[in-house]
Structure 1
Amino acid sequence: MTPLDDLLLLRAFVCIADCGNISAVARSMKLPQPTLSRRLKLLEDHCGVVLVRRDTHRMHLTEAGERLLEDARAMLSLADEAQQRLHEDQTGLKGHLRLFATIDGGQFTISRLIARFLKANPGVTAELAYSNRPARMIEDGCDAGVVVGEITDDSVIAKPAGKVVRYLVASPGVVAERPAVKKPADLEAWPWITLSGAQFGNSREVVLTAPKKDSETIKVSPVMMSEGVTSIREVLRAGLGIAVLPDWLVREDLVSGKLRRVLPLWNAPPLPIHVIYNSQRVQPARVRAFVAFAATYMTTEMHTAD
């Protein structure tokens, strides 16, 4: 048997390291003190090194003990998570989800997604944070997130979840006061509002594509940039200029006439959607279930004709 084969020995060692006192650990684990001491000695014998130095007042880890402690914590955490997943699979999903989403989608589509998931799994609770910087949210302990834009961080797992269709829109007043637009280049001198953030592309150029045509790139000098598409929609409604916005956000405005499509045959390249989660952890059942649910929901919700 290797020193890492017996989780009971490792659990006793971690408790001793945390407490520094065998008597106190024995009481908390409801074990006789000699039994706990024998487990520590057995672990040291298996390892072939001294793990704990004892003096009259307290116990201290050796250098080897410090190294083993980190690995022991990781192994026990995985064992506990495995036990939890087995329990969840048998009793239904339970527990708390820490979720995040990109700023605008989180307030609309993602909130509806979470509501449906929680209604289908009444044993689960959730909290939602907003951020356009997904890697930082995972580092801060979030379980999963739904994000729009390119994912460049390989420390997370990104599950594809559809695409956001985008096109040019402006208010009827802005369109009426300018010459008729026949090609993308005619829009270069218009007042532009653009989306900032590296994952969304260059905020000082607009790429457009159309069926059976080469893509075209417009160089623009924005009168305003924003991290959120909702704020861009509001300034477009106020007649500030033109912008590329997602279909899901402006559908109702197009029907009501508050906004109009400009060059309706031309679209901006769609932005990918991903459900992301930590690549370094084995996920509890509730997280795995949410990731699968979110990917299916977003793919369906964002489907629309180009």
Structure 2
Amino acid sequence: MDRLEAMSLLREAVDRGSLSAASRALRMPVPTLSRKISDLEARIGTRLLVRTTRSLALTDAGIAYLAAARRILHDVETAEREAAGEYAEPKGQLVLTAPIQFGRLHVLPTVADFLTAFPEISVRLLLNDRNVHLVEDEIDMAVRIGPLVDSSMVATKVGTMRVVAAASPAFLARYGAPATPDDLRDRPVVAVEGPMVETSWRFAPTARTAPIDIPLRPRLAVTTTEAAVDAAVLGTGIIRLLHYQVSEAVETGRLSLVLEDAEPEPVPVHLVHATRGQMPLKLRRFLDFAAERLRSRLHELPRNPSSRATAPGLNKG
């Protein structure tokens, strides 16, 4: 049996969540895929997967084996790329990931320009609002917005992103503009539900002496940032999002920024990758190319029209 092939099939089955999903991706019949994994288990002498008709799970032995298989496959694939010349000239496929909205607005235009400049490189751009594991998911580079939690990654900072509060001019005319974060306690707010439950909004007081947490009791909770912006434009409540997520609505006057003097510290934006030491030229070229353009885009965001000029009765501080 081909053990490298069997390792790849096992990895694909686990990553896809089922044998049927893996068979579709690999264009391999399910019985063939199942038999090859069974042959691998027989060779090792232990069960790696617990199969059901719709899903599968790794055994304890399977967890350990798959982790080792991923390392082996990564080393083999790196060796193949090096032999194919990817370390000598920029060519091959890059796999990138970014948050959905930021990726669409800022990464995609950068990728399009990059493909024009480097015709021998192709790109898979995976837009996802969860932080995927670069090595396990075989991703070359990711855009990360916020503090980095994985110190093993190589990070290049490309800028910062403001965390802003905003509301519609009609909402501000009805309720008045909040002068301090405490004013949010008696005004409707719109929250975004995500993997991490947000129970409060943190602001820095005007004196910048210590942060202040405002308990979150949303009048409306939604599951996407786009829906939150739409709700705020309709006058449902005040939202608090990353600046790029509201910039278009602010530019067109549909939303106005509030509590700008009490904004928390901007969060960092990085390009991160797992490669240390020598990296494929395609990755080096993209890092150099994208870092410059993303820095320029992020630098332009704070220049967007602010609420000071558009919102009736808005705090001028």
* Shorter-chain TM-score above 0.5: yes
Q: Give the Cα–Cα distance (whole angstroms) in 2 for the partners of residues 72 and 274 of structure 1.
A: 28
Choose the corresponding residue for 1:167, options 157, 164, 167: 164
Letter in 2 for 1:82: E
Q: 1:177-196, CA deviations, whole angstroms, 9 ceiling, x for partnerless residues?
A: 21452211011222222344
Judge conservation of contact 2:87–2:279 (CA < 8 Å) in 1.
no
Q: State the identity %.
A: 24
* Residue 287 (1) aligns with residue 283 (2): yes
Further displaced range: 114-123 or 294-303: 294-303
C-alpha deviation, 1:212, in angstroms = 3.9
* Residue 131 of structure 1: aligned partner: 128
Q: TM-score, normalised by structure 2?
A: 0.64
The amino acid of 1:247's aligned partner reads H
- Deviation readout 1:243-288 (Å, 9 max, x if unpaired): 1133333334224321112233332332221212235896421122
2:82 partner letter: A
Question: Is 1:183–2:187 an aligned residue pair?
Answer: no
Q: Is the 1:155–1:279 contact (alpha carbons within 8 Å) kept by the matching residues of 2?
A: no
* Cα distance between partner residues in 2 of 1:144 and 1:88: 16
- Provide closer, same or farther for how the CA distance between residues 283 and 133 of structure 1 changes in structure 2, counting only shifts above 3 A: farther
CA gap of 1:101–1:72, structure 2 versus 1, over 3 A, is closer
Residue 240 of structure 1 aligns to a residue whose secondary structure is coil
Secondary structure of 1:134's match? coil
Structure 2 distance, partners of 1:203, 1:252, is: 25
Is the Cα contact below 8 Å between 1:195 and 1:225 reproduced in 2? Answer: yes
- For 2:234, the aligned partner's letter is A
Letter in 2 for 1:194: A
TM-score of the pair, normalised by structure 1? 0.66
Query: 2-side partners of 1:79 and 1:264: how far apart?
Result: 51
The correspondence for 2:252, drawn from 252, 256, 276, is 256
**How many angstroms apart in 2 are the aligned matches of 1:182 and 1:72?**
58
Note the aligned Cα RMSD (angstroms): 3.6
Quick check: 252-261 or 109-118, which moved more?
252-261
Instruction: Give, as a single letter, the amino acid of the residue that structure 2 aligns with 1:287.
Output: L
Structure 1: tracts of 5 or more residues without a match: 1-13, 20-60, 63-68
Would the aligned equivalents of 2:96 and 2:139 in 1 still touch at CA under 8 Å? Answer: yes
The higher radius of gyration belongs to: 1
Q: Provide the rounded CA distance (Å) in 2 between the counterparts of 1:270 and 1:301.
A: 15
2:314 is matched with: none
Q: Alpha carbons of 1:119 and 1:191: their partners in 2 closer, same or farther (altered >3 Å)?
A: same
The Cα shift of 1:242 comes to: 0.6
Alpha carbons 1:132, 1:147 under 8 Å: kept: no
- Once the two structures are superposed, residues 201-251 of structure 1 have per-residue CA deviations (whole angstroms, 9 ceiling, x without a partner) of x62211223664333221111234455432321221122211113333333
How many residues in Structure 1 have an aligned counterpart in Structure 2?
A: 243
Q: In the alignment, which residue of structure 1 is the partner of 2:118? A: 121
Contact 2:86 2:92 in 1 (8 A): no
Q: What residue in structure 2 maps to residue 108 of structure 1?
A: 105
Local SS of the residue matching 2:272: strand
Q: Deviations over 1:1-24 (max 9, x none)?
A: xxxxxxxxxxxxx99x879xxxxx
- Secondary structure of the residue that 2:261 maps to in structure 1? coil
For the pair 1:203 / 2:198, whether they are aligned, the reply is: yes
